[in-house]
Amino acid sequence: MTHPEVFGEIDHPPRLLMGPGPINVHPRVLRAMSASVLGQFDPEFTTYMNQTMALYRQVFATRNRWTFLVDGTSRAAIEASLVSVLAPGDDVVVLNAGRFGLLLAEIAARCEARVTLVEAPWGEVIAPEAVEAAVRRVRPRLVACVHGDTSTTMAQPIGDLGAICRASDALLYVDATATLAGMPVPTDDCGADIVTAGLQKCLGGPSGSAPITISDRAADHIFARRHIERGLAAGNGEGTGRRIGSNYFDLAMIMDYWSEKRLNHHTEAASMLYAARECARVVLEEGLEARFARHALAGAAVTAGVQAMGLAVYGDPDHKMTNVTGVIAPLGVDHDRVRARMREDFEIEIGSAFGQLAGRIWRIGAMGINARKHAVLTTLAALEAVLRGEGFAHVAGAGVDVALAVYAAGAP
């Protein structure tokens, strides 16, 4: 008897994911995810939770006690941060130079905060002086920015932002989804109060768990808004501030869950915690500096390779993310067909783009396990062949040769 509604087992050919994320998951992370699920209050599991906190303190370069995971994709931690800090009517200054800056503004607006944008055109970054002027004028509760905006491939300098915020008693939120463990994200040194990420980029895992770190002063503000669910035990220290406008993303309750209180908030996504823990172990065994250098070298090889093919790289070269490269599609070449042929003929995924860049650039990522010579060279070789097939004239092999030379020369 056949069961047409059952479909087939998932069984696609392995694909090389060279877009802006997700990327191929490290085999050790996949193995960790197959460990048996434990209950979230099992002492073995809470030990893993504490270890995960200790590991991510190192990854985030912070001493913050409150360093843990939010269940969900990167956006879960973004939303948890903004909804837990911002109450309706609060002022927030958002740095916007791409799709993910706009996402911060959108989420803040859904929190009914008053949003002031400090903006730069896509492909550029925002000068700290512009942020300082806005913060002095608005005196916001929070300043929110994206570190590496994958939509434009630009890395916003964040070194001065903490001091600017502290001078006006504002908190600083940084979305480091696309940079954590690939480019330096010095949480404490840049004075960030909340930094969030996801696993599916430089951390080398699948999407679905969002590491977060929170300074004591931000935690104090959030705990002042603590209102525990009525169905749970009372007497956990209610706050006087306005109740946080989301239950799932209530960081006060989530922090109570990750503390000795072990508040029964949600059922922890055990397999994702195993994944996040293993991602951090892989990162720290390699060492942060070595990992940043490996991503920088791969990014330099991609950049030099596509330029040698006669393609232009998108955006301000001085502020380019090392791990994702925007490549301008040449006139007369069908952007989508190139991506389709990369996938169909070579089993390689490269990224398209959003909004004003849709159909104009490809985004090539070299992250996590894919920030390696063979992945970069294979991608360039495939792109060269596809572009030749699409009628774009360039010297055969030029991109791969130059990328090989970058690797031979070593650190960029």
Ligand X SMILES: Cc1ncc(COP(=O)(O)O)c(C=O)c1O
Candidate list 75, 294, 335, 363; residue touching ligand X; CB under 6 A: 75
Q: Is 24 left (phi over 0), alpha (psi -120 to 50) or beta?
A: beta
User: What residues form DSSP beta bridges with 154?
Assistant: 149, 320
* Tokens of residue 395, six digits: 């010297």
Given the complex with ligand X, which of 176 and 377 has the nearer CB atom? 176
Candidate list 52, 62, 74, 213; residue touching ligand X; CB under 6 A: 74
Query: Dihedral of CA 305/412/205/62: which sign?
Result: negative
Candidate list 73, 156, 213, 215; residue touching ligand X; CB under 6 A: 73
Given the complex with ligand X, which of 175 and 384 has the nearer CB atom? 175
State how far the Cα of 140 lies from the Cα of 115, in Å rounded to an integer: 9
Candidate list 198, 211, 299, 315; residue touching ligand X; CB under 6 A: 198
Smallest distance, ligand X to C-beta of residue 101, A: 9
293, with CB counted inside 10 A (0-12, 13-18, 19+), is middle
* Tokens of residue 176, six digits: 């480091």
Candidate list 107, 178, 190, 402; residue touching ligand X; CB under 6 A: 178
Smallest distance, ligand X to C-beta of residue 193, A: 18
For the chain, the first-to-last Cα distance in angstroms comes to: 61
Residue linked to tokens 């008053």 = 114
Smallest distance, ligand X to C-beta of residue 401, A: 31
Smallest distance, ligand X to C-beta of residue 49, A: 21
Given the complex with ligand X, which of 66 and 173 has the nearer CB atom? 173
Determine, following the binding rule CB under 6 A, whether residue 351 of this chain makes contact with ligand X: no
Please, which of residues 20-39 interact with ligand X by CB under 6 A? Answer: 21
Smallest distance, ligand X to C-beta of residue 278, A: 18
State how far the Cα of 35 lies from the Cα of 300, in Å rounded to an integer: 37
Beta-carbon contacts of residue 221 (< 8 Å; ≥ 6 apart): 85, 171, 241
Judged by CB under 6 A, the stretch of 143-151, 264-272, 345-353, 357-365 that binds ligand X is 143-151
Judged by CB under 6 A, the stretch of 10-18, 147-155, 264-272, 396-404 that binds ligand X is 147-155
Determine, following the binding rule CB under 6 A, whether residue 177 of this chain makes contact with ligand X: yes
Smallest distance, ligand X to C-beta of residue 234, A: 34
Smallest distance, ligand X to C-beta of residue 259, A: 26
- In contact, 351 and 17? CB cutoff 8 Å: no
Beta-carbon contacts of residue 54 (< 8 Å; ≥ 6 apart): none
Candidate list 25, 97, 142, 146; residue touching ligand X; CB under 6 A: 146
* Tokens of residue 102, six digits: 């706009």
Candidate list 71, 91, 132, 149; residue touching ligand X; CB under 6 A: 149
Candidate list 48, 60, 100, 122; residue touching ligand X; CB under 6 A: 100
Three-class SS state of 220: helix
CA-nearest of 185, 199, 178 to 366 is: 178
Three-class SS state of 17: strand
Determine, following the binding rule CB under 6 A, whether residue 211 of this chain makes contact with ligand X: no
State how far the Cα of 181 lies from the Cα of 2, in Å rounded to an integer: 48
* Tokens of residue 39, six digits: 């209950």
Candidate list 153, 156, 207, 325; residue touching ligand X; CB under 6 A: 207
Determine, following the binding rule CB under 6 A, whether residue 150 of this chain makes contact with ligand X: yes
Q: What torsion do the CA atoms of 118, 244, 47, 199 make, to the nearest 10 degrees?
A: -30
Smallest distance, ligand X to C-beta of residue 399, A: 25
Smallest distance, ligand X to C-beta of residue 236, A: 30
How many binding residues for ligand X (CB under 6 A)? 14
Using CB under 6 A as the criterion, which residues of the chain lie in contact with ligand X when the complex forms?
21, 73-75, 100, 146, 148-150, 175, 177-178, 198, 207
